[in-house]
């Protein structure tokens, strides 16, 4: 998925909200509830601050972007791993 070209964010325009992209490089976190079960994978822009345990987050769910939800994870696990950067391992 194209998100950036030469450092400039790119946006895919479409009438279908689920196919629209958020411009910029992202990172992904798995959020867990008090029972230790994962309840959400959160995609955020790389430059945004990382979510913290116990911190209330206001999120938008894909496919329902006009609505917001509030969640409070008890555990946050970063999922994004960089294996290649600029063609190098």
pLDDT digits over 16-56, tens only?
766 666 777 889 999 999 999 999 999 888 889 999 999 99
pLDDT of residue 23: 77
Q: Which residues of 26-63 are buried (b: 16+ CB within 10 A; e: fewer)?
A: bbebebbeeeeeeeeebebeeeeeebeeeeebeeeeee
pTM of structure: 0.73
Give pLDDT, residue 47: 86
Is the per-residue pLDDT at 1 higher than 60?
A: no
């Amino acid at each position: 998925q194209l998100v950036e070209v030469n450092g400039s964010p790119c946006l895919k325009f479409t009438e279908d909200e689920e196919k629209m992209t958020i411009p910029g490089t992202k990172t992904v976190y798995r959020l867990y509830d008090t029972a230790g079960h994962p309840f959400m994978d959160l995609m955020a822009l790389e430059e945004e601050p990382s979510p913290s345990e116990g911190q209330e987050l206001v999120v938008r769910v894909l496919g329902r972007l006009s609505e917001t939800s509030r969640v409070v994870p008890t555990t946050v696990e970063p999922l994004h791993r960089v294996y290649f950067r600029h063609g190098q391992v």
